[in-house]
Amino acid sequence: MSRDQIIFIIFLFIFATINIFLFGSGSLSADWTGFGTFIAAGITLSLYSFLYKDNPLFKFAENLYVGVAAAYTLTQVWYTVLLADVVNPLSALDSESLSNLWLIVPIFLGLFMLTQLASAKFSWLSRIAFAFVVGLGSGLTIPRTIAAKLLKQVETTMQPIPFDLFGLDLLIILVGVVTVLVYFFYSVEHRVASKIGIWFLMISFGASFGYTIMARLSLLIGRVGFLLEDWLVLPLPLF
């Protein structure tokens, strides 16, 4: 038996023993809530077991999550979109709600998309739906993105710079924008401005990396908190 197999069996034994104790002592209630906590703790530990090495428990938990998330999304889309906005309005058609008949158009566009998967003979129909989506998406996205993400940002970067702390902020932003733009201008040899641009880029990467560490730790803290308080039911704080 390999070392990994021994570790795997010891892990399962310890997990089972702890749960028998928790259920036996009444710390975990013998109902669906307690069962849910037991399952959540098992899946959490299985996922973190990847830190040691890739293993079957991790694979099981990973695939289970994907399956559950897909099924949950499907039910949400069915009840709040397809049933509420398509099936119910069409099934309750009467003389006053005849305008709901226009729903047939998006239904057919949606079905046309599926012809890509269903039949090679009719797959050309999907082009109509894709053309609609691309046309609508471009028409909506291009002007809004230019207005919100480019023009507005340029406008605030080009403000008059006052002689105070706010002005210092504006000056740093202005220098940062200009030098980074120079860095990404490849037609001339890079001199001082682009080197300053590299410094700005490095600082922004550092800030992003710091925030990423904070984010990942927050998730770990959340899971550890769940294991200590909800699963092991420890009376915190202990000291």
Give whichever of 118 and 213 is closer to another protein, judged by the CB atom: 213
Least CB distance to another protein at residue 192 (A): 25
- Could you give the CA distance from residue 84 to residue 76 in angstroms, rounded to a whole number? 11
Stretch that binds another protein, among 80-88, 90-98, 109-117, 188-196 (CB under 8 A): 80-88
Contact 38, 28 (CB under 8 A): yes
- Taking alpha carbons only, the member of 235, 233, 231 closest to residue 38 is 231
- Residue 195 binds another protein, judged by CB under 8 A: no
Least CB distance to another protein at residue 84 (A): 7
Residue among 63, 80, 119, 138 that touches another protein (CB under 8 A): 80
- Residue 33 binds another protein, judged by CB under 8 A: no
Q: What is the 8-class DSSP label of residue 94? A: -
- Residue 234 binds another protein, judged by CB under 8 A: yes
Tokens of 57: 């428990």
- Residue 84 binds another protein, judged by CB under 8 A: yes
- Could you give the CA distance from residue 172 to residue 155 in angstroms, rounded to a whole number? 15
- Could you give the CA distance from residue 25 to residue 29 in angstroms, rounded to a whole number? 9
The C-alpha torsion from 15 through 19 and 21 to 24, rounded to 10°, is: -160
Give whichever of 76 and 119 is closer to another protein, judged by the CB atom: 76
Sign of the CA dihedral with 28 first, then 29, 32, and 33 last: negative
Residue among 94, 96, 155, 189 that touches another protein (CB under 8 A): 155
| Interface residues toward another protein, by CB under 8 A | 51-52, 69, 72-73, 76-77, 80-81, 84-85, 136, 140-141, 144-145, 147-149, 152-153, 155-156, 173, 204, 207-208, 211-215, 217-225, 228, 234, 236-239
